A and B are shown apart, each in its own frame.
Chain A
């Protein structure tokens, strides 16, 4: 018998502090698997967010540098400009990237900064107890949208990946999910492709991952997987949003 699945080397043996069924745990593992398979552990630097994943450095066995809430894209810009041959990625939640960090994200993409952003979209502010996020859907209940998000009172959700795709420096943007084994594997392939885009020096890459937050959605993990399919993907369609890798040539 051959062992065909085990903990990736770049994932420390620590037990996750995340809730049962949380998408972060899955996505951390996928990043570690990609780092292992592409042999990048010694040359990757990650920037964790403010949010549940602030402690990502306790799990990913790579160099990591903390950023203030929303600022990861600016910190990553500084890191990558000093060390252009390393793989730099940010790991951000929906509040981090699409509320307080919108300017930094769009401008990094516009400048074509050659790092990768992994955007974990679970439609709430998890760490702080389930408040409304920029990606909270109309009708979705959160602690700051009582009765459900209402466009007159709370405005509309933001499709950040589509916004970033407009920026010319962005090269590869895909939206995936981690609510089934097939989607999980697709997410892993998207992360690997984004890192490859970076290694080829092509420009800014972003993978948005629809991710469950069972605790703040007040659902079981299984129900939260269904909710992503039935509700979230209607507003945040899965698929490749932008891919200019075949058109653009390297320009170092």
Chain B
């Protein structure tokens, strides 16, 4: 069972929500805080979870869809 992990750079994000629309497991949400540009950046909800708790598979659909190249994807 492949496991994955993503890192989103909040300062690059413009809250277009495209990553959220493609994630098969709905693991990305807009965060509460504002970034420097005034957007509420996308945030990975499994940030704090341990490897075997995460649903993220590292499919990278989010990163492929992100116009800002704000997402890096890791896969085991």
Contact = CB atoms under 8 A, between A and B. Distances in A.
Interface string B13-43: 0111110011000000000000000010000
Contacts, number: 72
Interface residues of B, number: 27
Contact of B64 (A6, A19, A22, A184): A184
B21 A25 contact: no
A15 interface: yes
B18 A5 contact: no
A163 interface: no
Contacts of B76: 1-2
B24 to A, nearest CB: 10
Interface in B57-76: 58, 60-61, 63-65, 67-69, 71-76
B17 to A, nearest CB: 6
Interface in A146-183: 180-181
Interface centre among B18, B61, B65, B73 (most CB of A within 10 A): B18
A5 B39 contact: no
B22 A180 contact: yes
Contacts of B18: 21, 221-222, 225
A8 to B, nearest CB: 8
B12 interface: yes
Contacts of B67: 16, 18, 20-26, 29
Nearest to A26: B67
Nearest to A220: B17
Closest 10 CB pairs of A and B: A25-B67, A20-B14, A5-B73, A21-B16, A20-B16, A221-B16, A1-B74, A5-B63, A181-B61, A181-B64
Given A5-B73, A18-B67, 18 more contacts: A1-B75, A2-B74, A3-B74, A4-B58, A4-B60, A5-B63, A11-B69, A16-B68, A20-B16, A21-B14, A21-B16, A21-B67, A22-B67, A24-B67, A181-B22, A181-B65, A185-B64, A222-B18
